[in-house]
Amino acid sequence: MKRKEMIKNLNQTNEIVEVCLLAGKIMMQNGAETYRVEDTMMRIAASFGIQESHSYVTPTGIIFSIDGTGPTKLIRIVDRSTDLQKVMIVNSISRKICSGELSLEEAHRQLKELDTKNLAYPFWMQVAAAAIASGCFVIMFQGGWRDFFPAFIAGGLGFYCFVYVHRLVKIKFFAEFLTSFIIGIMSVLFVVIGFGHELDKIVIGSVMPLVPGLLITNAVRDLMAGHLVTGLSKGAEAFLTAFAIGSGIAIIFTIY
């Protein structure tokens, strides 16, 4: 009888750890800050009765351990993107767990479902958003309205290329490089045929949807919060992205 209870207990501990790891993985994959991920995992564990837990979160993997004889588990994070809606949903699931509204099994089921779901806006809408944002950035950077539409087209097509190339080639930096190269070609073309006027403004506006602004600020914030490893690796990712974009444009300038 006692033995059975122990096994049941162990199984439950296993599931708690799994729920914590899954929640952490979804958050980290979709652009949450490190401290929030750690905090959420520990809160979930605490509300299922595990008072002492330790989590080590990096952009490429999460290690989660509970005190005593319980298991220590590792989960690998392969690709990262930004999907703030998923971060929001995990956040609300963890709130519900903490207030006791969700059982362990139910939370596990909901997280599993969320992990495989695609909540993104339709693709055409994202392209349109990138196009509009590019056009607006031209105006914000003191460009003229006559350059709105060249940037609109270059930015939209650039974003389209980025998603398309990223689907074919899994290496993100290559996709960014190629995209900024294409944006550069288009911008020069627009200026040459007289459709666009200020090359600089058009290029800056249209590469803005690719610029790793979120990554840079998250990196510096993590560094300041004491998550040194995470901060540095996010910083490296941001630097590589900026470098890929810059060199793609740079090639155009050496030719043009």
Partner 1 sequence: MIIEQLVTSFIASAAFVIIFNVPKRLLLNCGLVGMIGWLIYVLFVEYDFDSVLATFVAAFFVAIISQLFARLYKTPMTIFSVSGIIPLVPGGLAYEAMRHAVMNDYNMAIQLAAKAFMISGAIAIGLVFSEVINQIIKKA
Q: Rounded to the nearest whole angstrom, what is the least distance from the CB of residue 190 to partner 1 in the complex? A: 17
The Cα 62–Cα 197 span in angstroms is 49
Collect all residues with Cβ–Cβ distance below 8 Å to 102 and sequence separation of at least 6.
93, 96, 110
Among 12, 15, 56, 83, interactor with partner 1 by CB under 8 A: 83
Interface positions, 135-154, toward partner 1 (CB under 8 A): 136-137, 139-141
Q: Is 19 in the site for partner 1 (CB under 8 A)?
A: no
Query: Contact at 8 Å (CB) between 37 and 221?
Result: no
Q: How far is CA 208 from the centre of its chain?
A: 16
Q: Is 59 in the site for partner 1 (CB under 8 A)?
A: no
* 64 versus 148: smaller Cβ distance to partner 1: 148
Q: Is 228 in the site for partner 1 (CB under 8 A)?
A: no
Q: Is 213 in the site for partner 1 (CB under 8 A)?
A: yes
With CA atoms as reference, report the closest residue to 182 among 136, 244, 125: 244
SS (H, E, C) 55-109: EEEECCEEEEEECCCCCEEEEECCCCCCCHHHHHHHHHHHHHHHCCCCCHHHHHH
Q: Is 185 in the site for partner 1 (CB under 8 A)?
A: no
Q: Is 203 in the site for partner 1 (CB under 8 A)?
A: yes
Q: Is 246 in the site for partner 1 (CB under 8 A)?
A: yes
- Which helix (H) or strand (E) segment holds residue 54: the answer is strand 53-58
* 153 versus 203: smaller Cβ distance to partner 1: 203
Quote the tokens at residue 85: 């809606």
Instruction: Tell me the backbone φ, ψ of residue 88, rounded to 5 degrees.
Output: -60, -45
Count of residues that interact with partner 1, criterion CB under 8 A = 52
Q: Rounded to the nearest whole angstrom, what is the least distance from the CB of residue 140 to partner 1 in the complex? A: 5
**Which residues here bind partner 1, judged by CB under 8 A?**
31-33, 36, 82-88, 91-92, 95, 119-121, 125-126, 128-130, 132-133, 136-137, 139-141, 159, 200, 203-204, 207-209, 211, 213-214, 216-217, 220-221, 224-225, 242, 246-247, 249-250, 253-254
